[in-house]
Amino acid sequence: MKKWKQYDYLICALVFVVVSLVWSQLSNYTWDDDAISRFLNVQDAGKHPKEFFSSWNRPLFVVLFYLPVQLFGRMGIVVTMVLLTAGSGILLYKALKHKGVPHALVVMVFLLFQTFLFGISRDAMTEPLASFLVCLGIYFFYRKQFGWFALVGGLLPLARPEGVLFLPFWLFPLIQQRMYRYVPLLGVGLVAWGLGLFAYTGQPLALVQEVLASGEKKNRYGHVSLTHHIGKYVYVLGPVAFFFFLWGYMENLKKILADYFIVLQFTVGFLIYVAFAVFMDLGQSGGALRNLITLAPFAAVICVYGFNYWWEMFTGPAVSKKNAKPVKSRDRRELWIFVVFIILVAWLSFTNELHLRQTYNPDKKDYTIFNALVVCCLLAVLPAFSKKGKAPYGIAAALLVWQVLFTLYYENPGSHGNEERWGMNGMTAFVAKGPLQQQKVYCNHPWYFWAAGRHPNDTVRTGGISASSKTVMQPGQLVIWESHYTGENYTNMPIAAFLNDSTFAPVYVIQNREREALAVLFVKLWPQSADNDRFFASLMQAYPKDERLLYFKGVYERDRKKNIRQSIADFTAALALKPAEADVYLGRGVSWLMLNDRPKACQDLQQAAILGSQQAPQLLKTYCK
């Protein structure tokens, strides 16, 4: 048993790796679209070297992940990122073990199964990379290997540009230990980045321009309140980690200056992200909670502090090997006061639904995190009923398992899915098979390229949607329209630009439960009707039972070809396949109106209104009085 105990940290890391890799295969959902864009940029960096110097891409990320991406594609990102994150846990454990912190092993759970870090650690996101560098820095800091420590600090801005604001905390120990010769290493990353940009652009101040570019225009995400981050930090950490973090943080506030590299640096770093999100258009102005993942190693160490305070309630003070000073026994009443405080805070603050892991929905209740914290509190007080001096191994294990289970539940493989991604997955699957798979597709949404395995720079098979590209689209080429990346914040191409253009025809749609269009497929029509007829005939041959295709064929016959009776036949065939379709009744009703057959038109429009059509009531009011 002792033989295996010395490898317990490796077992923890292995569990994390296995679970993460399994999770990565159970869905294609990434944390957000930034992960896809960064993956595509790394994939393209060989042809476009500017990607290596991009502040948005993060230069260190591109350098580290370029080869894995070229060799293994998206799995190169997954495997490398998972191993990097597992390495973070090992480094942090080794650092605390070296320092003599009791129960150093629990830091593996508090880091690797921090809820947001676990969820993001398989994607092309830069927060886990910054977290790894912080763990590496803590490792060298505790071991007093200041040369390596300074070098790692110098790399931090290459992983997260705001990392330059953390460098004073890395400078201070070098000055304190009189390691002046290593101070220049803190600037090595910025110097290398600046020289690279100068060589590429020929502009001496290219680095300054690159970093400050995001602050030149007002951010479209808006700003958040001062309490935005702290009021939702429990979601970032998970319930058990938050419980021990809050306890550890409050207990260590009185020695925040003594523990400046952990507690003070965490505090200042947290305030930096708050300042960016509340007051500035530069940097993390949207207030994305995932930015706090950069601080995950500091939070994990503070969790260990809290865990040790809790442990001492039942066993007496833990004595560090490197600090043999006696410590006063702790009063168990502190635990009860803290538990009541946590439950009260949870009830007042953590019962609304967190929308897209970002903002509370005031109209929807979600007691998931509240219930999880209550369970945590109940477990934490159980040892209080046992005799003092008995180590609560079983309860400690239960608390750690509860943290892991919550994280696996909250960050389950499908947890980052939403209507938009589901719609793009469905449309991509439709386009990628049958008679459409060889057609060139215009689309702006990163998710199309992710799901289809294509790259935006593949101009033979893909293209972007814009006013200029619309004028050069050729017959038979396809357009996947969606409201996000063709909206006003991007290329501003409303759906009417295609619906009202007689040279395009809608072909297919993916809708949500409310019958709202998530993605609409258009085809650029041929000048000759016979070619268009063959196109629709090939689709109907491939999908004879698809009522949506029949519906859009009816729309084409009526609006583009002006063959009203054929459109009625197509709408009728669609209704035979799926009778309760409001859009199809509406379409057939409009066709009857165009034939001046009002009785049949009004009958169809009435049925469309009953089924929920929003356009039908106005037509009924106009034509069916």
Q: Are residues 385 and 467 in the same domain?
A: no
Give the per-residue pLDDT at 225. Answer: 84
- Residue pair 423/518 in contact by the 8 Å Cβ criterion: yes
Task: Enumerate helices (H) and strands (E) in the chain, giving the number of each.
Answer: 30, 7
How far apart (Å, rounded) are the C-alpha atoms in residues 396 and 50? Answer: 50
- Residue pair 57/66 in contact by the 8 Å Cβ criterion: no
Q: Are residues 99 and 235 in the same domain?
A: yes
Look at 215-219, 244-248, 387-391 and tell me which has the smallest mean pLDDT.
215-219
Q: If you average pLDDT over every residue of the chain, what do you get?
A: 91
Percentage of residues of the chain with pLDDT beyond 70:
94
> pTM for this structure?
0.91
Task: Examine the fold and report which residue of 511, 544, 577 is the final residue of a domain before the chain moves on.
Answer: 544
> Beta-carbon neighbour count of residue 18 at 10 Å?
11
Lookup result for tokens 């560098």:
133
Give the per-residue pLDDT at 281. Answer: 67
Determine the distance from the C-alpha atom of residue 130 to the mean position of all C-alpha atoms in its chain, rounded to a whole number.
16
Query: Does position 73 have pLDDT exceeding 80, yes or no?
Result: yes
Residue type (1 letter), 78:
V
Tens of pLDDT along 252-271? 998 899 999 999 999 999 99
Query: Does position 442 have pLDDT exceeding 60, yes or no?
Result: yes
At residue 519, φ and ψ (nearest 5 deg) are -155, 135
Q: Are residues 487 and 522 in the same domain?
A: yes
Q: Closest Cα partner for 214 from 278, 282, 288, 274?
A: 282
For the segment 30-52, the average pLDDT, to the nearest whole number, is 93
For residue 178, what are the CA distances in angstroms to 5, 148, 182, 183, 576? 39, 15, 9, 10, 84
As given in the structure block, the two tokens for residue 311 are: 């442990």
Q: Are residues 390 and 315 in the same domain?
A: yes
Number of structural domains in the chain: 3
Q: Is 287 exposed, middle or buried (0-12, 13-18, 19+ CB in 10 A)?
A: buried
For the segment 596-603, the average pLDDT, to the nearest whole number, is 93
- The continuous run of DSSP H or E covering 509 comes out as strand 504-511
Give the per-residue pLDDT at 226. Answer: 85
Q: What is the CATH number of the domain that holds 571?
A: 1.25.40.10
Q: Using CA of residue 248, residue 253, residue 258, residue 262, what is the dihedral sign?
A: positive
Give the per-residue pLDDT at 356. Answer: 81
> Beta-carbon neighbour count of residue 250 at 10 Å?
15
Task: Examine the fold and report which residue of 522, 544, 566 is the final residue of a domain before the chain moves on.
Answer: 544
For residue 124, what are the CA distances in angstroms to 59, 77, 89? 13, 6, 19
Q: Are residues 41 and 23 in the same domain?
A: yes
How far apart (Å, rounded) are the C-alpha atoms in residues 537 and 281? Answer: 52
As given in the structure block, the two tokens for residue 137 are: 């820095």
At residue 353, φ and ψ (nearest 5 deg) are -70, 130
Determine the distance from the C-alpha atom of residue 2 to the mean position of all C-alpha atoms in its chain, rounded to a whole number.
41
Give the per-residue pLDDT at 329. Answer: 65
Beta bridge partners of 150: none
Q: Are residues 392 and 432 in the same domain?
A: no
How far apart (Å, rounded) are the C-alpha atoms in residues 8 and 3? Answer: 10
Query: Does position 218 have pLDDT exceeding 70, yes or no?
Result: no
Tens of pLDDT along 408-423? 999 999 999 889 999 9
Q: Are residues 127 and 243 in the same domain?
A: yes
Domain span at residue 464?
418-544
Q: Closest Cα partner for 547 from 577, 524, 520, 519?
A: 577
For the segment 553-560, the average pLDDT, to the nearest whole number, is 94
pLDDT interval class at 207 (50, 70, 90): confident
Q: Are residues 55 and 195 in the same domain?
A: yes
Q: Are residues 388 and 536 in the same domain?
A: no
Residue type (1 letter), 574:
A
Task: Examine the fold and report which residue of 544, 567, 598 is the final residue of a domain before the chain moves on.
Answer: 544
- Residue pair 123/23 in contact by the 8 Å Cβ criterion: no
As given in the structure block, the two tokens for residue 317 are: 């003070």
Query: Does position 495 have pLDDT exceeding 50, yes or no?
Result: yes
Give the per-residue pLDDT at 247. Answer: 95
Give the per-residue pLDDT at 1. Answer: 47
Give the per-residue pLDDT at 594. Answer: 94
> Of residues 147 and 215, which shows the higher confidence score?
147
Q: Are residues 531 and 572 in the same domain?
A: no
Give the per-residue pLDDT at 524. Answer: 97
Give the per-residue pLDDT at 278. Answer: 86
Give the per-residue pLDDT at 550. Answer: 95
> Beta-carbon neighbour count of residue 388 at 10 Å?
12
Tens of pLDDT along 611-625? 988 899 999 999 987
Q: Are residues 476 and 571 in the same domain?
A: no
Q: Are residues 580 and 521 in the same domain?
A: no
> Of residues 4 and 108, which shows the higher confidence score?
108
Tens of pLDDT along 275-334? 888 887 665 556 789 999 999 999 999 999 999 999 998 887 655 555 555 556 677 888
Q: Closest Cα partner for 302 from 254, 374, 241?
A: 241
